[in-house]
């Protein structure tokens, strides 16, 4: 527990906007469904509570969900006092919470790869791996931010969709906001158009909240305004996050991303996704193979438990959509910006990452 506590103190000293942290022998996490008007913090010692928080969107964002794979296995090891069978069961539970989130699945598998022995020996192994993963995630955010900022020019207006910022990562900038934040810190004069992102309004509630906190000029728009703005020359770049990237570069991201990518292509606006090498799923050849999570239709017909449509209205909620690789100008990673042909450039990235492990 000492290594974890030291890591959390280090993160807090860096003034990161932490979505999840361990303190006083409990795991704490911000309820992202209540932001920005209420900062409610959940605390637990039970991995089942964490799994539910992932499933019901209390914790969301590919980076944060990925780190939950580490936090969850660590919590299970502590909760069970190092019972390997319980830890393995917790791994299966966590992987079932969000089927599109490859980061979570990969992280759980990586954690379980060191899950041997029992008792204090098992806990120590898992704690060490948890620290390694959390440090790596934060380093990824800074590195991909620097690489992506090279794509941003002084005076650019950047459109982003959904929320892939600090609270969706490990506290710095997650995915897209790592790029935007680095460009801002470099002194570039930028402006961000953030789409509200129905039905949870992550862009309005959380992206705008973070942009304000970081002092980055921004304007909130509804999801269906992006094409108009691009057609009027108001947007120079589109930068979004990613929940999974297929081996050929097809992108799974929050539903609505595909619509923005089509508008960008039609108007000659470069469209980028910011991700980590960990989010690239080389076991999936193309986007058509990615399982898209369908959520409860009531999330479309109501907002914060208030109905917004007549009773009995049918609704549909695919949580993600697939953006074909031909619409993507570049895939921003911690190892550089990958460009077409993506099948070969992503394979080269895979080989580079593997050679450094």
- How confident is the model at residue 20, as a pLDDT? 96
The single residue of 156, 243, 250, 281 carrying the catalytic annotation is 243
Of 132, 124, 161, 74, the C-alpha closest to 278 is 132
243 labelled catalytic: yes
pTM score: 0.92
Predicted local distance difference test score (pLDDT) of residue 357:
43
- The gap between the terminal CA atoms of the chain, to the nearest Å, is 25
Rounded to whole angstroms, the Cα distance separating 275 from 337 reads 10
The average confidence (pLDDT) of the chain is 95
If one counts every other C-beta atom within 10 angstroms of the C-beta of residue 222, the result is: 12
Tell which wins on pLDDT, 163 or 304: 163
Domains, the chain = 2-141 (1.20.120.420), 143-355 (3.40.50.10470)
pLDDT for residue 105: 93
| Structure confidence by residue, pLDDT tens digits, 260-279 | 999 999 999 999 999 999 89
Does residue 288 surpass a pLDDT of 70?
yes
The mean pLDDT value for 160-174 works out to 94
Structure confidence at residue 355 (pLDDT):
55
Residue 132: the pLDDT is 96
223-249 residue pLDDT tens: 999 999 999 999 999 999 999 999 999
Strand pairing class (237-240; 271-274): parallel
Between CA 154 and CA 189 the distance in angstroms is 5
């Amino acid at each position: 527990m000492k290594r974890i506590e030291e890591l959390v103190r280090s993160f807090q000293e860096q003034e990161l906007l932490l979505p999840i942290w361990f303190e006083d022998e409990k795991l704490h996490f911000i309820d992202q469904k209540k932001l920005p008007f209420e900062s409610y913090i959940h605390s637990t010692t039970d991995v089942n509570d964490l799994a539910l928080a992932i499933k019901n969107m209390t914790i969301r964002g590919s980076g944060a969900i990925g780190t939950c794979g580490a936090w969850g296995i660590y919590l299970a090891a502590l909760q069970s006092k190092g019972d390997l069978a319980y830890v393995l069961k917790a791994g299966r539970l966590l992987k079932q919470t969000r089927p599109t989130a490859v980061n979570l699945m990969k992280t759980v598998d990586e954690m379980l790869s060191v899950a041997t022995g029992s008792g204090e020996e098992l806990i120590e192994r898992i704690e060490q791996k948890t620290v390694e993963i959390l440090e790596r995630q934060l380093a990824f955010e800074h590195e991909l931010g620097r690489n992506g900022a090279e794509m941003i020019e002084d005076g650019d207006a950047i459109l982003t969709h959904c929320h892939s910022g600090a609270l969706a990562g490990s506290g710095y900038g997650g995915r897209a906001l790592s790029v935007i934040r680095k460009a801002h810190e470099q002194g570039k004069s930028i402006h961000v158009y953030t789409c509200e992102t129905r039905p949870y309004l992550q862009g309005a509630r959380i992206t705008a909240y973070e942009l304000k906190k970081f002092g980055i000029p921004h304007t909130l728009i509804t999801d269906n305004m992006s094409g108009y703005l691009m057609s009027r020359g108001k947007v120079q770049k589109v930068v979004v996050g990613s929940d999974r990237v297929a081996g050929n570069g097809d992108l799974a991201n929050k539903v609505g991303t595909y619509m923005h990518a089509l508008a960008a292509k039609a108007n000659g606006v470069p469209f980028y996704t910011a991700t980590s090498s960990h989010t690239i799923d080389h076991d999936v050849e193309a986007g058509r193979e990615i399982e898209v999570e369908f959520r409860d239709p009531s999330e479309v017909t109501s907002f914060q438990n208030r109905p917004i449509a007549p009773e009995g209205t049918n609704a549909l909620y695919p949580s993600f959509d697939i953006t074909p690789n031909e619409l993507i100008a570049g895939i921003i990673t911690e190892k550089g910006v990958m460009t077409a042909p993506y099948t070969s450039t992503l394979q080269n990235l895979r080989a580079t990452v593997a050679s450094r492990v």
